[in-house]
Chain A
Amino acid sequence: MTSFLFGAAGFVLAMAALGLVVILRRPAEVDHMMAAQLLGTAGVAILLLLAAATETPPIVDVALLLALFAAFAAVAFVRSAPDRESEVSKATSDG
């Protein structure tokens, strides 16, 4: 059972890695914003599988925090990439 759970965690990690490479290589910034989302689900799945595989229940808490902060990071991503017109007008108006 342990090695099956490890294998499943490794498989999900490989999928997440592939997804991350694809996302981070695309030129559009909106694609980059999906990275936190991807780790929010795949990272949680990996951690839950590891918690079961190593029989260490506190790892579930790490998964909980990862879910929470992935959402927080995603908000920060969207916030820091606003529409361009308002940014330009702001940059020229203050000073």
Chain B
Amino acid sequence: MNLAFDIFTVSAVSAGALFFLAGTVGLLRFPDSLTRLHALTKVDNLGLGLVVLGLLPQANGLFSALKLVSIWLLVQLSGAIITQLIAGAVRLRGPHG
């Protein structure tokens, strides 16, 4: 059982790390601010989600697991809104402002 949990953790965390890699590649390669913003928020949030998912079996107790999930939800929600704010700033100032 423990081994199964560990395999699950390793695969989910690795997948999460891969998404972080993809986010950084997007940051490097995308041509303008709005697309870079898109790469940063969407992909990194998915990466964090997978890391949280992978760490769930390692959490001791239901409370810790719930806390992990709620942190992810907090990052997800605030990240979405902040992205909207930054995108608003991009629109106001132009991509090179």
Q: Do chains A and B touch in the complex (CB under 8 A)?
A: yes
Binding site for B on A (CB under 8 A): 1, 4-5, 8, 11-12, 15-16, 18-19, 22-23, 27-31, 33-34, 36-38, 40-42, 44-45, 48-49, 52, 57, 60, 63-64, 67-68, 70-71, 74-75, 77-78, 81, 83-84
Are B28 and A18 within 8 A (Cβ)?
A: yes
Tell me if A11 and B78 are in contact (CB < 8 A): no
Total A-B residue contacts, Cβ distance less than 8 Å: 139
How many of chain B's residues have a CB under 8 angstroms from any CB in A? 49
Query: How many Å from the CB of A85 to the closest CB on chain B?
Result: 10
Query: Interface of chain A, helix or strand or loop or mixed?
Result: helix
B48 to chain A, nearest CB (A): 5
Contact B90 A67 (CB under 8 A): no
User: Which B positions have Cβ atoms within 8 angstroms of A?
Assistant: 6, 9-10, 13-14, 16-17, 20-21, 23-24, 27-28, 33, 36-37, 40-41, 44-45, 47-48, 51-52, 55, 58-60, 64, 67-68, 71, 74-75, 78-79, 81-83, 85-86, 88-90, 92-93, 95-97
- Choose one: A23, A67, A83; the contact of B74 (CB below 8 Å): A67
B96 and A27 within 8 A (CB):
yes
